[in-house]
Amino acid sequence: MQISKASEAVGGLVEGVDVTRLTDSQFDDIRKAFTDYGALFFSQQKLTPEDHIAFARRWGEIDVNRFFTPVSGYPEIAEVLKEPDQLLNIGGGWHTDHSYDEAPAMGSILYALEIPPSGGDTLFAGMAAAYDALPDAMKERISDLKARHGNDHVFGEKSDYQKAMNGRLGNARSAGQEAVHPVVLTHPDSGRKGLYVNPGFTLYIEDMEREQSDALLAELYAHIQQPRFHYRHVWKEGMLAMWDNRATWHYAMNDYPGHRRYLHRITMAGVPLSQMH
């Protein structure tokens, strides 16, 4: 097994291993790499849904996503699917999953079944690298701030996205969760500080005028959106990607009109973030 850096800021490439046959020592190396790189990309896997679930269970509990359509017979696996005639995709903007939960999902494991001939890449951004590169004055300014996150505007009944997805997302009535988390999170495993706000689900900074909060979030987002903090993952069928929501953002590109893109996603449960400042 070889593990190398995918980019300076985020991600590791794992080669020469079958995730259905990992020894404990290989799994320990992978776990360490996951902590170091925030996301891992495995090539040439051949997974049944049972293999996918078994690999996810090695990391801990599975968090069953309440909004995505599950794979028939496998409630633990969500479909990440865009058909040739559909316009919208899932995850087509910078976000980190489940930040609206008190205990946001630790991460996801995404397996590629059908990939368009070109396009459909996923971008990842490294939150620790982005934090490290902030000017000291900004680090000082945000050190004690907290932000409120929510999901009603994405998954709720009145959300334009929910409506435009035309039945592809479920459970709109059970949306509405909100949670408050530190803007700067000390990662429980790496001990590194990273930014924990995202354009998808962060609503505003607590105890700040709305205009100021919007301006601060826009400044942080513009900083994180610099390509020097990114890795662009180009998919092939059989690839498996996994990412840590406490260390990364991701963005599924929607640039393959007329083609099908189909992946299976398992989300791994996380812990409350309130004590991780």
Nearer to ligand SIN, 32 or 260 (CB): 260
Q: Which residue is nearest to ligand SIN (CB)?
A: 91
Active-site residue among 52, 230, 233, 250? 250
Using the Cα atoms of residue 270, residue 271, residue 274 and residue 276 in order, give the sign of their dihedral: negative
CA 265-190-139 angle, 5° bins: 105
Asked about 207 being catalytic, the answer comes back as no
Least spacing, CB of residue 165 vs ligand SIN, in Å:
13
For residues 67 and 247, the answer to whether their CB atoms sit within 8 Å is no
Q: Which two tokens stand for residue 143?
A: 């050190």
- Strands 107-114 and 248-252, bridge-based pairing: unpaired
Nearer to ligand SIN, 120 or 184 (CB): 120
Nearest Cα neighbor of 270 from 98, 23, 20 is 98
Asked about 97 being catalytic, the answer comes back as yes
**Residue 96, beta-bridge partner list:** none
Least spacing, CB of residue 241 vs ligand SIN, in Å:
7
Active-site residue among 63, 97, 101, 244? 97
Asked about 31 being catalytic, the answer comes back as no
Nearer to ligand SIN, 149 or 250 (CB): 250
Question: Residue written as tokens 């490439």?
Answer: 13
CA 80 to mean position of chain CA atoms? 13
Nearer to ligand SIN, 156 or 205 (CB): 156
Active-site residue among 52, 98, 181, 265? 265
Active-site residue among 95, 149, 187, 192? 95
Nearer to ligand SIN, 110 or 128 (CB): 110
Q: Which two tokens stand for residue 169?
A: 């997302």
Least spacing, CB of residue 82 vs ligand SIN, in Å:
8
**Amino acid letter, residue 32:** K
For residues 17 and 26, the answer to whether their CB atoms sit within 8 Å is yes
* Positions that interact with ligand SIN (CB under 6 A): 80, 90-91, 108, 110, 122, 250, 252, 263, 265
Q: For residues 258 and 177, what is the distance between their CA atoms, to the nearest angstrom?
A: 34
Least spacing, CB of residue 265 vs ligand SIN, in Å:
6
Least spacing, CB of residue 61 vs ligand SIN, in Å:
18
Residues known to be catalytic? 95, 97, 250, 265
